[in-house]
Structure 1
Amino acid sequence: MGILFSRPGRESSSLPAGAFAAGNISSLNSSSIVPYLGVNTGLYSAPLPPIPLEWIVSPSKIDGSCPNGAQILTWFAITDAIITVLVPLFAYRPFVHWITRSQLGKRKKNSVAFTWTITFACQLTANAIVAGLMGSTYNTLSMLHIFTVFISRPRFHPIIVGLLRCIVFAKRPRDWDKSTIIKRSNDDRVEFPYTDAWIATSISELLLLLISAIFTGVTWNRLPSDSKAREYASDHVSFMSSTPGIMFLGMLAFVPVYKRYGEAYPIEGRRYETGRHWGVTISSDGRTRVGVKKGKNKTTLKRVANAVCATLLLGYVYLVQWAYWTRYLEMTGALFCPTKMIQSGAVWAIFTLFATIDRNTVWQNRGSKGNTTYKTEFLFSEQDMKGKKIVITGAGRGLGRALAIVAADRGAVPLLLGRSLQALEQVRDIIQSRSGVSAATIVCDLSNTSSVVNAAEQIASSHPDIDILVNNGAHFTDGAFQNQTYSQIVSVINSAVTGTMILTKDLLPLLKQRPHADIHNVVSMSGLPHARLTGASLPFRAAKAAQDGFTQGLVEELNGSPVRITSVYPGLIEDVSPTDEAWGLKRGLSEGITNKDVVDTILYALCAPPNVSLRSIVIERTHSDFLV
């Protein structure tokens, strides 16, 4: 390894006079060794030592033996191997989340700009401890010089972190769009979990290489020019001086530290990435969507090629470090006799692994079956939803379906009520696959009194610890009053008023037993005074007005109880699903509202602190003339 970076004709292939291999005890008889034992500061005198004074790590008197070059390099290699094996775990956010039980984290927007200082400080601390261990044994040596000598030891783990940054990724769901863990405009909801670990590790490594290059260059050039050892090591010293530049090139071009989101492609925008082309997507119902499609094979090929180039570049830095140490240990004799090697290796491993832990990017777990996924940010604490049982009527479709799915995503346990068992089971399966939550399905026709009573009895027997009731279900009709049939009128009134009141009455004792409970009635703006009769029929409007009166009466009757009452008045809403791409689309000022807007509002109110009650919430689009 020592001759790998030597230039023919520049360095002699034979050891210079006065140089001995590390661990060679016969070097104690040499006049170039004995005067410098236990001395790593001061001025040079004849005869010159085979290594710079600052690189000497030895006692003033050696009675036993010293480790040879193979033993020292093995010490480095074993320490590096342990670190390299464990770093992929300690740098991986989901593992850190699991091992620390969610204690680390809460990624902030600009936190990565500061966490590299922790990584760098850990490396400096480890070297300071090693210098203290050896300096306390060899008390005639300068600990500062020992500290700086070992900063130049080979470190392989930055290569692994850089490689993993390029090739390890995970596709995230749409409900992450509001989080700082992904940035949809840059990464198409593809997260690279090792990104922040790479940024912190690479900046720290660059600074360590700078210190090493400066120390190596200055100390070897301080050797008098007539030193044969200086000439023997000159090329390796020059290559050591080049490592910060090579590392910086890798950080800029191949694994860029300035790209926190998206692929680790060199200086390339998202829009022009390899494999993108215009294409048409046709859904099962015949709807078409024109957009930019991404060729997976080309993306994978480029990702792998980029990782290979980065590995080769960073591998050069690692080989230079090994070549330098191999050449150095050919000349030291008894002047490099490190002690407490096992303890020092343990210190390096512990502090490097601690430094690699991705502190900023741990998110709350909401997965199951061993899979770790993450929640989006919310103004109020989402812990208020975790584990709570929420009864939702009309949960088989529309707003109720969307609310059940998103509530489960945030840790709640939905109890799905609706007329169609098949529709409820479909929602249950979606919830199970997305969040691992087992939602209960209960058939309940709000227009049928016996069905409502049976549903309430099932809830009381199987789930007496309910926390939330969302009265969302209602039979909707439109058209002129004269065109409404008797059965339609009865169904509308019974579902919105009678059924809702009976279900609430039967479940209210369960809710009162809880330390904190909520009832949300989705009334509709049609039930407000002075609302235009737009779209909805007169029976529906009358039913919603009655439901509004019932809600206001509940507020008065339950005053002083642990049950909060909230009435929600959405206007005309577009039916979108959390499983569709339209769920995450941002809308313009003049566009209408969707299920997502109502779901977000309901969850906002449910997550409010217990001392905060949002009584009435009207939701309409900005440019609306629904109210007169």
Structure 2
Amino acid sequence: MAEITSTEQLIPWPWAVTPLDPDTHSCPSTTHILVVFGVVNVICAYIAIILGNRTVIRWLTRGVFGQPGVSSWVYVSWIASAGLILAANALNAWLTVRAPGYDQSRMPTVGDLTLFYVSRPRIAWIWVLVLGLLPCHWRGNKDNGLDWRNAAIQTTVAEIVLQLIGVYYKARAVHFASRRGLYGESKLDRIDFVSRAAFAMMTTAATVYMCILAVIAALLFYWLKYKPKFRTLGWMYLCTAGTYWILDWVFMAGYVKLAGDLFCPQQFALQGAIWAIFTIIGLAIGGAI
């Protein structure tokens, strides 16, 4: 294996989002990108409390949606929730790939970037799941269920699907590092400390992510065999898969810092708004059914 002499050699995939003329396209900083991720998380988390509540949806729609009880639609509505997030990813990927003034020879396809954006940290589902697991007697509501239960079921199943899709880029990072023997720092002596740390963050998060898959598989086996109540399975899943949110943060922070100007998407704040809007629509669907 050739000696690692540049940061670019530590990127596990061949594509890059780079402008042809850096003087005319200023790249968002690592902080800017992570702040956008954080703002989207905060906005969606707080709106999830409102629109994921079927009592609120019932009031907003004058009783048309958000009826008490678990609708049979909740078990397929996750398709809409996951589909909306993937659609937002695809739209943002398209905006990035089609942006003028970029090196198209190294630009990823819309599909590549859509899959990569699945690793974006998402927290709204965690808030909704926690609320869905707590007994609810809000304003005397005792409809033999939980006001956030439908949204919790929908968003949790959607998140499981998205986490499985997110394995793709995590697995590529793990394969890249293990095949080249880069888990130690002996081969990275000529790389600056910040880049080494960023690479370690990315690959460590990806490795732990893959390991937790075994725990998720065990939970699925437990569910298929014993059919536990939603609340029991929900708390078990939250304690394990909730770690994925932290790992997604570490993975993305490591990659963005490592890539630097090799990941230079324009109008990233607009992309954040698109993620927020599509996520909120999915949450509203969960509260409506």
Same fold? TM cut 0.5: yes
CA distance in 2 between partners of 1:79 and 1:118 (Å): 19
Q: Is the 8 A contact 1:172 1:190 kept in 2?
A: no
Give me the whole-angstrom Cα distance separating, in 1, the residues matched to 2:228 and 2:154: 11
Secondary structure of residue in 2 paired with 1:353: helix
Q: Report if aligned partners of 1:127, 1:150 keep a CA contact under 8 Å in 2.
A: yes
**Quick one: structure 1 residues 114 and 311, their matched pair in 2 at CA, closer, same or farther if it must change by over 3 Å?**
closer
In the alignment, is residue 57 of structure 1 matched against residue 17 of structure 2? yes
Q: Distance in 2 between matches of 1:322 and 1:359?
A: 25
The alpha carbon displacement at 1:62 in A equals 2.3
Aligned equivalents of 1:51, 1:158: Cα separation in 2: 30
Residue 155 of structure 1, aligned match among 119, 122, 132: 122
2:136 and 2:215 map into 1 onto residues whose CA distance is 26
1:329 aligns with 2:256: yes
Change in 2 beyond 3 A, CA 1:163/1:109: closer
Query: Do the aligned partners of residues 164 and 360 (structure 1) sit closer, same or farther apart at CA in structure 2, a change above 3 Å counting?
Result: closer
**In structure 2, what is the equivalent of residue 132 of structure 1?**
94
Name which of 77, 80, 88 aligns with 1:118.
80
1:470-520 deviation digits (Å, cap 9, x = unpaired): xxxxxxxxxxxxxxxxxxxxxxxxxxxxxxxxxxxxxxxxxxxxxxxxxxx
Q: Does 2:203 match 1:234?
A: yes
List per-residue Cα deviations over 1:445-479 (Å, max 9, x = no partner): xxxxxxxxxxxxxxxxxxxxxxxxxxxxxxxxxxx
Deviation (angstroms), 1:58: 2.6
Q: How does 1:271-350 map to 2 (within 5 A)?
A: 312-350=239-277
8 Å Cα contact 2:80-2:282 kept in structure 1: yes
Residues 312 and 359 of structure 1, relative CA distance in 2, 3 Å threshold: closer
Match of 2:6 in 1: 18
Question: Structure 1 residues 246 and 71, CA, compared in 2 at 3 Å: closer, same or farther?
Answer: farther
Greater helix percent: which structure?
A: 2
Q: Please state how far the C-alpha of 1:102 moved relative to its aligned partner.
A: 3.1
Aligned equivalent of 1:88, options 46, 49, 53: 49
Deviation at 1:131, TM superposition (A): 0.7
1:170 paired to 2:170: no
Secondary structure in 2 matching 1:330: helix
Asked if the contact 1:246/1:317 (under 8 Å) is kept, the reply is no
| Superposition map of 1:67-82 within 5 A | 67-82=28-43
Taking the aligned partners of 2:245 and 2:70, their CA distance within structure 1 comes to 33
Distance in 2, Cα, partners of 1:359 & 1:238: 32
Q: 1:220 to 1:339 in 2, by over 3 A?
A: farther
CA 1:143–1:259: 2 relative to 1, 3 Å? same
Structure showing greater relative contact order (alpha-carbon pairs closer than 8 Å, 6 or more residues apart): 2
Inter-partner Cα distance in structure 1 for 2:13 and 2:133? 42
**1:326–1:249 distance in 2 versus 1, CA, 3 Å:** farther
Specify every segment of 5 or more residues in structure 1 that has no aligned partner in the other structure, as ranges: 1-15, 20-31, 33-48, 177-181, 183-188, 267-305, 363-628
**1:432-471 matches, cutoff 5 A:** none
Q: CA deviation at 1:153?
A: 0.7
- Report deviation, 1:109: 5.0
Q: Unmatched 5+ residue regions in structure 2?
A: 189-195
Change (3 A) 1:119 1:247: farther
Shift of 1:172: 10
Q: Distance in 2 between matches of 1:92 and 1:253?
A: 29
Deviation at 1:154, TM superposition (A): 0.7
CA contact (8 A) 2:170 2:207 kept: no
CA RMSD in angstroms, aligned pairs only: 3.5
Q: 1 or 2, which has the higher strand percentage?
A: 1
The answer to whether the Cα contact below 8 Å between 1:122 and 1:355 also exists between their aligned partners in 2 is: yes
TM-score by length of 2: 0.76
CA offsets per residue over residues 55-74 of structure 1, 9 Å max, x none?
63333442243122112111
What secondary structure sits across from 2:258 in the alignment? coil
Q: 1:206, 1:247 within 8 Å by CA — same for their partners in 2? A: no
Is the CA contact (8 Å cut-off) linking 1:214 and 1:241 kept in structure 2?
Answer: no
Distance in 1 of aligned mates of 2:36 and 2:288: 33
Partner of 1:22: none
1:205 aligns with 2:165: no
Residue 243 to residue 84, structure 1, CA distance change in 2 (3 Å): farther
Residue aligning to 1:409:
none
Give the C-alpha shift of residue 171 in structure 1: 8.2
- The structure whose Rg is larger is 1
- SS of the aligned residue for 1:111 comes to helix
* Residue identity in the other structure for 1:151: V
1:265 and 2:232 correspond: yes
| Inter-partner Cα distance in structure 2 for 1:75 and 1:58 | 19
